[in-house]
Structure 1
């Protein structure tokens, strides 16, 4: 018997608004695991549970989101990673300087009254969380995009935990029929 396992050769693309971020065609398992462990350690060190942000310290949350961005960038092609990680120091809507390192950006901002650090690619938190889910599915042995077909042994990755909507369904919210 001969079994051929195809490897992706074309970059994956995650479109976020008008931006297209190119992801590596394939990521070696050990590199993905190392990046994922780094993310988990950063998250644990900051004491932030991404599934429950209620009561999270804003400074810790910012550092955790930066760690998520670093994890995602490690799966991207260099040009996309550079853009995704770029931090701009801004005063009155004007970019004074751009950095890749958060510490350097904060130090520069501290030297300029009224300056603040912001991501060059500003995204809602939900978009970053969705990107994280896609990347884990894609490279973390989930059921993501395989080059050709899927093996019969693959199973879908369970949806992450967290709070689901609690509103009643439209059918349950309609008028009651009891007493007919």
Structure 2
């Protein structure tokens, strides 16, 4: 919607600087809302030794997968006859799927830390959200393939909704076992 409708409209009217300013305002607002939440969570759980390990594992996994997927895409483009658009779509698809899975695992770990519950022993709780996130991601990829203008905007909105739903699922719907207690 942005690239297909809003951006051409703004260019025709001579307003591209307005779009840049609005984007920067949205970025600053998002950061301003997120930083206090991160600081609160860190202050509350800084003594938990699992928190730095979880965040480090997430960052290393995300960066490593990014390099691997990007490198594979570059190899496919350089050494095969696969078209650039096909490689770009494949890289975007794999990145979307794997980043969604990593975000669900990170959410699970953060909620487990917040509720003072074991992480490894409770991994059986991950199957339903992971299945849902992969299904939604595949649906978004297909939608983006057929309707690229609407698909990219909808992908961002749906990604946020799925992330919030995942946090809700782990926080309120997954019950503790009888031998576990919440903090």
Taking structure 2 as the reference length, the TM-score comes to 0.30
Structure with max Cα Rg = 1
> Relative to total residues, which structure has the larger strand share, 1 or 2?
1
> Which structure's relative contact order is higher, taking Cα pairs within 8 Å and 6+ residues apart?
2
